[in-house]
Amino acid sequence: MASSGHLYMQTNEAKNQVIHYRRDENGTLHEERRYPTGGSGSGAFNYLSDPQGLLVEGAHSTLLTPDNQFLFAVNAADNSVSSFGVDTAGELSLVDAKRTGNPVTGRSGTAKSLAYSASRRILYVLHSLGPSHIRLLSIDSNGSLDARPDGYSATPADKPGRVPTMLTISPDDQVVLVGSAVDELPARNPDGSAIVWVQRNGNPHSIAANAPDPDGLGVFPIGAHGELGSPTFHDAGATSPWCQVFLHHRPDQFIIGYATSDGLALATLHPDGAVTTGPVVRADTSMGRPSELCWMTISPDDRLIFANMTGYGYVTSWRLDGNVLSVARDPACPRVPGDGTFRGFAGIVGSGPNDMWMTEDGEYLYQIYGNASRLIGYAVHPNGDLTEVTSAEIPHNSPQGLTGF
């Protein structure tokens, strides 16, 4: 049985806060306290309600340093990052809050995803809109933040409208990977549904990244002082390579989750920065496409991968045996209904699940269902099934970013 611990989630409200939960040995959550970040979240609105809503979908928008000494949280609306000290009881103290350097030109900023280089004490912040999609903040020994002037585009020169979703640092701290959802922002039909096909040269064309050009995954080398070198763009294997997570025991391999290709693939990062991918193993899409498979986590032994189907309202699991992926349980848990106001790209009414986190021992998985106002904790079974063990009420629609220890 898992030992007790702590879980953190940002509310992403206009006056953003981080909620600290105490986690019992049986996985049950108890809210301890809410800590203001000193920054502004995007507020409570559906991510399909307008283009800005799409941009603030956070991918790993909160994270802990490997030693659990500091917690960082993105404030999506004002393009800032907050730094908290973490004591041995899991309590937080706000140390600093700094702007990333990207201006806020509309109703919301676009900062969304974090990655941390422990060897360099540098935080990498991904923004959905450029030209400086990636900004850097240095962290001193007290957790104070210093925004660096350098900024980096995460899109190919011929696709300036691409929307990056998540960045990940390789286990050896030498490479940053950047995934992307679409090559341009979707327009809307009169009924509010998203337009994901456009006419180009008289032919229908998907706006999904990596289609038809095989360039959906960006790879940046990291320099000695944390600076990023010129990126290369690689075939991600399928459309909308939204999420990429490295295996725990194979530092050169990672799993890619595809938002519009509805499945996962095993990929290899080669020493020269090249990427090769295996076949995409797709989930059941009989409810409609795309599934909007987005957030993902991997069990400590690398045997199970869980990904939420944001457009469907549940979690699906895959099994990894050697280099072979297969669907384990689809779905892995019952579908969670929302309040009826959320519709994904496929038009399915659901609960809009976003970020998830698994305990270090692999015993429990926690999943945000924003439109259902619920944070659900599941017991993880060896066959890939999930059994609900706890549920906490959370602010409607808006929360994102889960991390803990």
- pLDDT recorded at residue 25: 94
Instruction: Report how far apart, in Å, the C-alpha atoms of 12 and of each of 25, 69, 400 are.
Output: 28, 22, 7
- The structure's pTM equals 0.94
Q: Please report the pLDDT score of residue 51 as a whole number.
A: 47
360 and 54 Cβ atoms separated by less than 8 Å: no
**Tens of pLDDT, residues 92-125:** 999 999 999 999 987 778 899 999 999 999 999 9
Contact 41, 398 (CB under 8 A): yes
DSSP run (H or E) holding 35: strand 29-36
| Residue pLDDT, tens place only, 343-369 | 777 788 889 899 999 999 999 999 999
Specify the higher pLDDT residue, 301 or 108. Answer: 301
Pick 379 or 42 by higher pLDDT: 379
Q: Are 340 and 349 in contact (CB under 8 A)?
A: yes
Taking a C-beta distance cutoff of 8 angstroms, is the pair 360, 380 a contact?
A: no
* CA proximity to 338, closest of 354, 350, 346: 350
Whether the per-residue pLDDT at 17 is higher than 80: the answer is: yes
In CATH terms, the superfamily for domain 5-404 is: YVTN repeat-like/Quinoprotein amine dehydrogenase (2.130.10.10)
Q: Is the pLDDT of residue 50 over 80?
A: no
Predicted confidence band of residue 2 (pLDDT cuts 50, 70, 90): very low
Q: Which residue has the higher pLDDT, 211 or 299?
A: 299
Query: How confident is the model at residue 49, as a pLDDT?
Result: 45
Distance from C-alpha of 219 to C-alpha of 230, rounded to nearest angstrom: 9
Q: For the purposes of burial, counting CB atoms within 10 Å of the CB of 26, is it exposed (0-12), middle (13-18) or buried (19 or more)? A: middle
pLDDT at 192 exceeding the cut of 80: no
What is the 8-class DSSP label of residue 163? E
Lowest mean pLDDT among 31-35, 185-189, 210-214, 284-288: 185-189
Band of residue 203 on the pLDDT scale cut at 50, 70, 90? low
Domain layout of the chain by residue ranges: 5-404
Reported as type and span, the H/E element at residue 51 is helix 51-55
Question: Could you give the 3-state DSSP secondary structure of residue 107?
Answer: coil
Predicted pLDDT at 357: 97
Region 249-273: mean pLDDT is: 96
Mean pLDDT score across all residues of the chain: 91
CA 360 to chain centre: 18
